[in-house]
Structure 1
Amino acid sequence: MELQSLTKVVPNSDPCVVVIDDDTQFRESLERLLRSAGLHARAFASIDEFAKSEPPNGPTCLVLDVRMPGRSGLEYQRDLVAAGVALPIVFITGHGDIPMTVQAMKAGAIEFLTKPFRDQDLLDAVNVGLARDRARRENEASLRTLRARFEELTPRERAILVQVVQGRLNKQIAGDMGITETTVKVHRSNMMRKIEAASLPDLCRMADQLNLLPKKAERS
C-alpha cells in the first residue's frame, strides 16, 4: 500500500479508525471500545501489517503505539509527513516523555495519550481526527471538481479570467488582447458559466483556490 493511497477520496464512505499496537490484549480492547462507540475499527499488530492491507476508503484516523517492533509510530508519522500525507494520528504510549510528545505534536498529531488513559479522552481525540480528515477529503474533492471545470475553459477564457480577478475592466482587457469589448463580454460570460461562478467575489475565491495569481509578496 503506497502512502499516497491513504488519502484517496471515495464519496459517502464510512469513517474508519485504524489501531496499530503490538499488544494483542490492549489492541483488542481498543477495538471493542471504538466499536461500542459506533465507530468502524480495524486493528493491526504492526505498521508493516497495516501497509499490506487495503487502505480505508473514507475519513480515517490512526491510533498508533509509539514504540513497536519494526517501524515505530513516530517513524511512520515522519514517513507520512515526508510523503505529504496529512493523516490524523492519535498516539498512545506506556512510556512517553515530554520531548517525544513535543515531536509528535509538532508533526501534526491530534493527541498524545499516556497509558492508562480515560476511554473518553481517546474517543474525543479520534472524533477530532475523523472530523479533520473528513473536511480535508471534502476540500480535496471540491478542488478536483473546480480544476476539472477550469480545464474546460479555452485558453482565451482562462486569460480573461486572470485579468478579471486582477481587477481589469472589459475595455482594458480588450485593449490588451486586441479584441473588441463585446467579444470580451461574450468570453467572460461563457467563462463564468463554465466555471460556475455566481459573482466576481466567487470567481476571485476560485482563482485563489487554483493558485492562478502570484502571491502578494511577489506582486509588490
Structure 2
Amino acid sequence: MSGLPAAPDQIVHVVDDDEALRDSLAWMLEANGYTVAAHASADSFLVGLTDGMTGCVLLDVRMPGMSGLELFEELQRRRCGLPVVFITGHGDVPMAVSALKQGAVDFIEKPFGEQDMLRLVEHCLKLESETRGKRQQEAETARRLAQLTQREREVLDLIIVGKLNKQIADVLGISIKTVEVHRARVMEKMGAHSLAELVQNIVSLEPGAVVR
C-alpha cells in the first residue's frame, strides 16, 4: 500500500496510448487506493481538463497525434498546476531531462517497479496539495490586503521594511498612538497573530517586499 493516501478529490491521470500499460498502471494504482482516470490520447485528456482539477499526470513521452511533450507544453501554457511525471523508453531520456528543466516533476523509465511508481505518485500528490494550499493562502492574503485603507497600507508597508512605531509616525506625520491604532487594525484585518506571521504572508505574496 502507498504510504500516503490521496485526498478524496485528487485524481491520478494516466495518459498513454499503450492500452496494456495504461490498464495495468490504472489497476495497480487503484489497488493501492488511488482514484485513476485513464486517457488514450492527449486530446482525450484535454477534453476533460478543468481549472479546478487536482491530482497529477503520468504522461507517456511518445504518443500518436499530440505527443506527451506537446501536451506538457500546452498544460504550461494554460498554467495548469497538475504535477507531471513522464513515462519514457530508454531513448526518450534526453527529452524527459529537457522537460524536467521546464518544470516536470520527474520521469520514470519503462519497465518500472511498482514501488518506484507509487513513491512518485505519492510525492506528486503531496506536492500538488501543498502548492494548492499555498495558492489559496496567497489568494486570501490578497483579499485581505484589498480591505485595508490607504493609510493602513502605508503603515503596513513601513512595518514590512522593519520600521518601529516612532519611525512610522515620523514618516507619515502622525502620532505614535495613531500608528498603534492603525497597526492593530492591520493585524486584525490581515488575520495575523504575530508580526512574523504578517511579514511571512506579505513576502510570500509580494516576493519583492524587502524586510530589513
Q: Into which bin does the TM-score normalised by the smaller protein fall? A: 0.7 to 0.9
Show the counterpart of 2:166: 171
Q: 1:53 to 1:118 in 2, by over 3 A?
A: same
Distance (Å, rounded) in 1 between the aligned partners of 2:208 and 2:106: 36
Aligned amino acid, residue 55 of structure 1 = T
| 90-99 or 31-40, which deviates more | 90-99
From the superposition, tell whether residues 56 and 37 of structure 1 become closer, same or farther in structure 2 (CA, over 3 Å).
Answer: farther
Match of residue 68 from structure 1: 63
CA distance in 2, matches of 1:38, 1:57: 22
Pairing 1:146–2:141 present: yes
Q: In the TM superposition, what is the alpha-carbon distance from 1:94 to its structure 2 partner?
A: 3.4
Q: State the match for 1:6 in structure 2.
A: none
Following superposition, the deviation at residue 50 of structure 1 comes to 0.9
Q: 1:215 to 1:182 in 2, by over 3 A?
A: closer
Q: Give the conservation status (yes or no) of the 8 Å contact 1:162–1:212.
A: no
- 1:32 matched residue in structure 2: 27
The TM-score normalised by the length of structure 1 is 0.84
**Unaligned runs of at least 5 residues, structure 1:** 1-11
Which residue type is aligned with residue 78 of structure 1? E
- Residues 152 and 182 of structure 2 are in contact (CA less than 8 Å); yes or no, is this contact kept in structure 1? yes
Q: 1:26 to 1:80 in 2, by over 3 A?
A: same
Cα offset, 1:109, TM superposition: 2.6
* Cα gap change, 1:146 to 1:96, in 2 (>3 Å): same
Q: Give the counterpart of 1:17 among 12, 18, 27.
A: 12
Distance 1:39 1:57 in 2: 19
Q: Which residue of 1 aligns with 2:3?
A: none
Q: Which runs of 4+ in 1 moved over 6 A?
A: none
**Corresponding residue of 1:9:** none
Two-structure CA RMSD over aligned residues (Å):
2.2
* Match status 1:196 vs 2:191: yes
Q: Distance in 1 between matches of 2:210 and 2:99?
A: 31
SS in structure 1 opposite 2:91? coil
1:161 and 2:156 aligned: yes
Deviation at 1:190, TM superposition (A): 1.0
* Sequence identity (%): 41
- Per the normalisation by structure 2, the TM-score is 0.87
Question: In structure 2, what residue type is equivalent to 1:62?
Answer: V
Q: CA deviation at 1:187?
A: 1.1
Alpha-carbon distance change, 38 to 205 in structure 1, aligned in 2, over 3 angstroms: same
Alignment gaps of 5+ in structure 2: 1-6
Moved more, 175-184 or 49-58: 49-58
Q: CA deviation at 1:55?
A: 3.2
The verdict on how the C-alpha distance between 1:96 and 1:122 changes in structure 2, with shifts beyond 3 A counting, is farther
Match of 1:81 among 71, 76, 93: 76
- Separation (CA, whole Å) in 2 of partners of 1:83 and 1:55: 10
Deviation at 1:198, TM superposition (A): 1.8
Instruction: Please name the residue that 1:59 is paired with.
Output: 54
- 1:100 equivalent to 2:95? Answer yes
- Change in Cα spacing, 1:191 to 1:136, as seen in structure 2 (3 Å) is same
Mean Cα deviation higher: 23-32 or 47-56 = 47-56
Residue aligned with 2:167, SS = helix
Any conservation in 2 of the 1:174–1:184 contact (CA below 8 Å)? yes
1:117 matched to 2:135? The reply is: no
